[in-house]
Copies of this chain bind each other. A is one copy, B any other.
Amino acid sequence: MQTITDPAAMRAWARARRAEGRRIGFVPTMGYLHRGHTSLMDLARPRCDALVVSIYVNPLQFGPGEDLDRYPRDPEGDARKCAEHGADVLFMPPDLYAPGHATTVHVAGLTEGLCGAHRPGHFDGVTTVVARLFGLVKPHLAVFGEKDYQQLATVRRMVEDLAMDVEVVGAPLVRDADGLALSSRNAYLSPAERARALSLSRALRAMREAAEAGEREAAALVAAGRARLDVDRLDYLEVRDARDLRPVEVIEAPARALVAAWIGRTRLIDNMPLGPTAP
């Protein structure tokens, strides 16, 4: 595995692989890698000839007062995991953007509710960094986790709208044995906080079980979930259409339950499929 830190060198590498006719797979991350991230690599690896993993804590997607400065880092451990999971290139730029960078990619609609309502500018930061990374890495295939479900839908929309030649693959969320969705931010949790953080997945499971038992009213499902939550602040707990993320009142098509909540100073998100054809 080679490590590339210079965006121009990354681009030259990608051009050379393209010229050779190689199929490039790509897993963009912010590092502090866990089994969720390595599952993305494992999904990409057999579908490409050359696998790039990027690690870049993107300032554009953090708001003022968010955890940009304390976002956890582990460059040595990350490099080991990337190598173990078959990455050909670890792209770790200290600076990613061009000098004088002035461009923003914005996706309307999809980004307005859920995390978009609580993190203004967050998704603009995501789509902008992904667009630039796609330009540098030139992937045929890019894998994003369903953990960031709204992000995945937003990236798909951008790729469709700007006719980017990238196959976007969504990967299932990975949980610890106790049900907690894996997240680099779990590192912030004290043992007592972690115990309470389990209430997010418990709430979503309660909603899924109620849906499986025949409940179709979103309001009733949300009430069932909310009763299980033990959090310091709830940003949202909602039922949305699984594809376009529109609010759902009565489930008639595949739907998704999504939650974001604070345990102490840590903001956690989770989501689960609901409804007629949910897996």
Can you list, as one digit per residue, whether each of A124-154 has a CB less than 8 Å from chain B (1) or not (0)? 0001000110111010000000000000000
The answer to whether A110 and B102 have CB atoms under 8 Å apart is yes
Given known contacts A138-B165, A163-B11, A102 and B157 CB-to-CB distance under 8 angstroms: yes
Q: Which residues of B contact A15 (CB under 8 A)?
A: 165
The answer to whether B11 and A103 have CB atoms under 8 Å apart is no
**CA A161 – CA B104 in complex, angstroms?**
9
Chain copies in the assembly? 2
**CA A103 – CA B132 in complex, angstroms?**
15
Can you list, as one digit per residue, whether each of A97-119 has a CB less than 8 Å from chain B (1) or not (0)? 11011111111111000000000
The answer to whether A102 and B98 have CB atoms under 8 Å apart is no
A158 interfacial contact with B, CB 8 Å: yes
A213 interfacial contact with B, CB 8 Å: no
Given known contacts A103-B157, A157-B102, A157-B103, A162 and B131 CB-to-CB distance under 8 angstroms: yes
A-B contact pairs, 13 of them (CB 8 A): A98-B161, A98-B163, A102-B161, A103-B105, A103-B127, A103-B158, A103-B162, A104-B105, A105-B162, A106-B106, A131-B162, A135-B165, A138-B165
- List the 8 closest pairs (A to B, CB-CB), nearest first: A135-B163, A103-B161, A102-B108, A104-B106, A136-B163, A102-B109, A131-B162, A135-B162
